[in-house]
Amino acid sequence: MKIGDILLENNIFLAPMAGVTDSSYRIISRGMGAGLVTTEMISAKGLYFRDENTKRLTKIDPRENPVALQIFGSDPEIMAIVTEKYINPRDDIQFLDINMGCPAPKIVKNGDGAALMKSPSLVRDILREVVKVSNKPVTLKIRMGWDKNSINGIEIGKIAEEEGISLLTIHGRTRDMFYSGKADWDYIKKVKESLKIPVIGNGDIFEPLDAIKMLEYTNCDGVAIGRGAMGNPWIFKRINNLLNGIEDMEPSENEKIDMAIDHLNLLCNMKGESIGVKEMRKHISWYLKGMKNSNTVKNEINSIIEKNQMINTLLEYKLELN
């Protein structure tokens, strides 16, 4: 599919997730066939005030391309300055994505993320100012609305279209649902029917067939996978295989353990052993989910502080399974 002048390999995307979609996991997901990957959401104010931790989140590896850098914020002027000063000069970023869907309390209490859906006029101001200065296609991530009494995703989508947004991703939940209940695919379908720009559906894609069903049911232009990709980068390859008439194959337990080791090595190379090992604990828990005696291994992994010990524990578990 094409966004702006950029042609993507396919329409199966990795959704941004704080603490999950760092550079190492974006590399893995691209290697597994994700057509586009997106950074963890990055504070525009953090970049504006030159916060070093925020700046680190913007690091991109060439193996990730094409990649969207996602920012959040509610000050149109700061969003525009950050776009012009910090994002435009970078050739390693293909798209700028704006987050107006994050439900986290610490984000919405500042009027950012999903809180912006309560202020359509401010949404318009932000999008107008960013699109005006951006030299990259600007995309937008939203939810259906703030709560069941203020569902306005179609209204926000139309504002986005009018202000020159190149693509809209819609999560089929309101902010107050967080990730509970079922994603409303009917609403995703309505958004798609209401707009001319590409619409990407997001919510409740945990198996390859879920993506096929969403594409067929909503007629959306692609899907973005978040929680369904945690510990499961194969989902991108499997969906693409199904779309291309190739038989679906689940990864074996050996493949999952091997991928966990590769991921660990990549993470440690990028962030150093101490941080890499700690951050890898949650990923290993996701990779091993549902496997025999995995809880025992997870408990052991959670107390390990050295990379080689973590690798040896995984290799021993692999032998035990075989």
Residues with a catalytic annotation lie at: 102
- Taking CA atoms, 155 is separated from 112, 149, 220, in Å, by 18, 14, 17
- Residue 143 is classified by DSSP as E
Tokens of 128: 């107008």
Contact 297, 313 (CB under 8 A): yes
Which residue type, as a one-letter code, is found at position 58? T
What is the residue-wise DSSP string for 196-253? SS-EEEES---SHHHHHHHHHHH--SEEEESGGGTT-THHHHHHHHHHTTPPP-PPPH
Distance CA(47)–CA(80), nearest Å, equals 12
Distance CA(97)–CA(103), nearest Å, equals 17
Residue 63's contacts (CB-CB under 8 Å, 6 or more residues apart) are 27, 30, 31
Distance CA(241)–CA(249), nearest Å, equals 9
Give 290-294's long-range contacts (Cβ < 8 A, gap of 24+): 291/253, 291/256, 291/321, 292/321, 293/317, 293/320
Strands 2-3 vs 6-7: parallel, antiparallel or unpaired = antiparallel
Contact 312, 297 (CB under 8 A): no
Distance CA(127)–CA(98), nearest Å, equals 8
Distance CA(20)–CA(181), nearest Å, equals 22
Contact 43, 66 (CB under 8 A): no
